[in-house]
Homo-oligomer: A and B are copies of this chain.
Amino acid sequence: MIKEISGGVCAAQGFKASGVHCGVKAGSSPDKNDLALILSEKECAAAGVYTLNRVKAAPIYVTMDHLENGVAWGVVANSGNANACCPMSHENAEAMCGFAAKATGREAEDFVVCSTGVIGQTINIQALQTGMPKAAAALSSDGSDAAAAAIMTTDTVKKEIAVSFELGGKTVRMGAIAKGSGMIHPNMGTMLAFVTTDCAVTTEMLEDALREVSAKTFNRVTVDGDTSTNDTCVVLANGMAGNELIEWKDESYETFKAALDYVCRHLARAIAADGEGASRLVTCKMTGARSEESAERLAKAVVGSALVKAAMFGADANWGRVLCAMGYSKAPFRPEHVDISFESSAGSILVCEQGDGLAFDEELAKKVLTEKEVVIAVNLNEGEDEAECWGCDLTYDYVKINGDYRT
């Protein structure tokens, strides 16, 4: 039984967080937090998944290095600069960990480090050095909100969640913050997401659970098909819930994985809904598939299609574009078996049956598609497998935001 609770990344016992403004980006408002810290009072088992982009930002290499021993104590992250593809990027990522360590009395190697923002400009390391003691002083068990705000770039809403569940009579808590709005097409890793839990679990089990869960949550989101250079999701587990250590794939592991899935699914959907310029969350539910893999590939092609996304913006029931996107996805299916419906809280409307268009009520279709959350439901009528992928519509604002983001 997974229950939503408050507290975000500080909901689990022993975790504090903070977010402050230090001025990473020249001319940014002093009201915009840009430096986040998360710290556990005990050592954590830690696991991460990262972008598969061949161009990886320096903080990813530093984080991989620091997590090689499977443990960490905290996270340091900034927005306003991706610290990618610029001179001194590796040295500066290491320096950020050093500042965090100095300000908190730990070691540089105890920190995971992440950056997000513009690519290719050297990061303002002085601002981070000056801001770090402020961030350390602000660490508190109420700090999740401030930390979530500090990792936002073009995000319009904070992404935060926490849950509790029971393991062998003990209450375990898990919380997370994430950011992500543009350059979203995660591949094995994801945007930035930090999950904390007081569950007692080995690094190995944590790694397996994170790999399985992120493949079915974050990796099923696309905003614009652009896989970022900085995607990172890290889970820290400090064991303070006092449950029996999870070290095998037993029932407790499954319970833990279900909670991690709940948290990551929530954040994945939140990221899709907050896609740059998006006016609605678009989910594609692909059912009746021969395999989950082909269902995922088909659903992802649909939510990734620029033409489907533009039609969703216009609340236009242009299902031909859905079938067309499936057709170029490279997944096998029979077009002549396909049923397509559009669904939302305003109703459900079948527009294509066995591959051929149906006459349908255009007015109802418009109503269905004008809601904030729209589902494109496709039945392949070929098997029992299914998958769900999330995206958003393509709007004038996406073009506006990205036509002049850098300057």
Q: Which A residues fall within an 8 A CB radius of B?
A: 52-56, 82, 84-87, 118-122, 182-183, 185, 187, 224-229, 304-307, 310-311, 313-314, 316-321, 323-329, 332-333, 335, 352, 355-357, 362, 394-396, 398-407
Find out whether the CB atom of A404 lies under 8 angstroms from the CB atom of B316: yes
CB nearest neighbor in B for A182: B307
Q: Is the CB of B406 within 8 A of A311?
A: yes
CA distance A319 to B121 in the complex (A): 11
B395 with A323: CB separation less than 8 A:
no
A225-B225, A306-B226 known; A324 vs B399 contact (CB < 8 Å): no
- A403 near B311: Cβ-Cβ < 8 Å: yes
Residues of B within 8 Å of A402, CB to CB, are 306-307, 310-311, 314, 394
Q: B residues within 8 A CB of A226?
A: 305-307, 321, 324-325, 328
CA distance A328 to B306 in the complex (A): 18
Return the chain B residue nearest A52 by Cβ.
B328
Are B87 and A335 interface neighbours, CB within 8 A?
no
Since A54-B327, A85-B356 are in contact, a sample of 6 more A-B pairs with Cβ atoms closer than 8 Å, ordered by chain A residue number, is: A119-B318, A228-B324, A229-B324, A314-B404, A395-B399, A396-B399
A56 to B334 Cα, complex, angstroms: 11
Given contacts A311-B402, A407-B362, contact A120 B325 (CB under 8 A): no
**In the complex where A327-B54, A327-B227 touch, is A320 in contact with B120 (Cβ < 8 A)?**
yes
Q: How far is the CA of A342 from the CA of B86 in the complex (A)?
A: 18
Beta-carbon contact of B310 and A185 below 8 Å: no
B residues less than 8 Å from A400 (CB atoms): 396
| Copies of this chain held together in the complex | 2
| Contact assessment for B86 and A356 in the assembled complex, using a CB-CB cutoff below 8 Å | yes
Least distance between A43 CB and chain B CB atoms (Å): 34
Residue of B nearest to A310 (CB): B402
List chain B residues, Cβ under 8 A from A185. Answer: 328
Q: Does A356 contact B324, Cβ atoms closer than 8 Å?
A: no
Distance in angstroms between the alpha carbons of A119 and B351 in the assembled complex: 12
In the complex with contacts A357-B85, A357-B86, A316-B407 CB distance below 8 A: yes
Given B85, B310, B355, which contacts A403 in the complex, CB threshold below 8 Å? B310
A119 proximity list for chain B (CB < 8 A): 318, 320-321, 323-324
Instruction: Choose among B85, B183, B305, B396 the residue that contacts A396 (Cβ–Cβ < 8 A).
Output: B396
**Provided the pairs A226-B321, A227-B328 are in contact, do residues A316 and B405 lie with their beta carbons within 8 angstroms?**
yes
Closest to A331 in B: B54
Question: Does A405 contact B333, Cβ atoms closer than 8 Å?
Answer: no
Q: Which B residues touch A407, using CB under 8 A?
A: 316, 362
Distance between A51 CB and nearest chain B CB, rounded to angstroms: 8
Cβ–Cβ contact B182 & A316, under 8 A: no
Nearest CB to that of A333 among chain B residues? B54
B307 and A224: CB pair below 8 A? Answer: yes
* Chain B residues whose CB sits within 8 angstroms of the CB of A311 once the complex forms: 402-403, 405-406
Q: Cα distance A362–B407 when bound, in Å?
A: 10
User: Across the interface, which residues of B come within 8 angstroms of A355, CB to CB?
Assistant: 85
| 11 A-B contact pairs sorted by A residue (CB < 8 Å) | A118-B318, A119-B321, A122-B357, A226-B305, A229-B324, A314-B405, A316-B403, A316-B406, A395-B399, A396-B400, A399-B399
